[in-house]
Amino acid sequence: MVEMKFICDRMLGKLAVWLRISGYDTLYVGDFKIEDEDEFLLKNFEDRILLTKDRRLFEKAKKIGREVFLVRSNDIAEQMKELKSIGVKFQIVMDRCSVCNSLLRIPSKEEALEVLKEQGLPADMLERYELWFCEKCKKLYWMGSHWINMVRFLKKIED
Ligand SMILES: [Zn+2]
């Protein structure tokens, strides 16, 4: 099975983040500096499923044969449940940067120390946590309290 890839409209930034956390290759239109986002979404990234909250955009996309899914709820938990209906599996896979969609990798000791120092974080985090690194954002990820909150949230949407 080919893994699903997505592009999200302006209204679905949070959903884009959760898709990235779950390992899906996901673009967010707000990351592109463009004027006519609808036009852009209709004409680009045809290999991706378009996720939109805009019924008019949804209809237009359908008409030109794009793979598109209309998200109905305004609530992130409900939106995630909607996507589960098309086979999306939400989970925490430290695979993609939730900010920029780049693939993460294990940092070298030097890289990790540099970022920790820059962000005023204790150097011993290197020993205490498994770290992942986004080269583009110079951002580190680890299983801290944020992680625990995310796990709790995922439990909530499971029911
Ligand atoms: Zn990044």
pLDDT tens column, 26-80: 999 999 999 999 999 999 999 999 999 999 999 999 999 999 999 999 999 999 9
Instruction: Supply the range of the domain harboring residue 78.
Output: 6-84
Confidence at 157, pLDDT banded by 50, 70, 90: confident
| Longest alpha-carbon distance in the chain | 55
Of the listed ranges 10-14, 101-105, 152-156, the one predicted with least confidence: 152-156
Average pLDDT for 130-157? 92
Distance (angstroms) between ligand 1 centre and the Cα of 132 equals 11
- Identify whether 11 is part of a domain: yes
C-alpha of residue 103 to centroid of ligand 1, in Å? 8
Does residue 92 fall inside a structural domain?
no
Confidence category of residue 156, pLDDT binned at 50, 70, 90: confident
User: Ligand 1 center to residue 96 CA distance, Å?
Assistant: 8
Looking at the structure of the chain, the number of domains it has is 2
- Domain final residue pick, 84, 99, 130: 84
Q: What is the pLDDT of residues 104-124, one digit of tens each?
A: 999 999 999 999 999 999 999
H or E element that contains 6? strand 6-8
- What's the burial of 99, exposed, middle or buried (CB within 10 Å: 0-12/13-18/19+)? middle
Residues in the chain: 159
Residues 130, 63 share a domain:
no
User: Residue 1: is its pLDDT beyond 80?
Assistant: no
Cα separation, 26 vs 14, whole angstroms? 11
- pLDDT mean across residues, the chain: 94
Judge if 76 and 114 occupy the same domain.
Answer: no
Same domain for 79 and 114: no
Task: For residue 62, report the distance from its CA to the centre of ligand 1, in Å.
Answer: 32
Single out the residue of 159, 136, 156 nearest to residue 20, CA to CA. 136
Cα(9) to centroid(ligand 1), Å = 19
In a domain? residue 150:
yes
pLDDT in tens, 2-36: 589 999 999 999 999 999 999 999 999 999 999 99
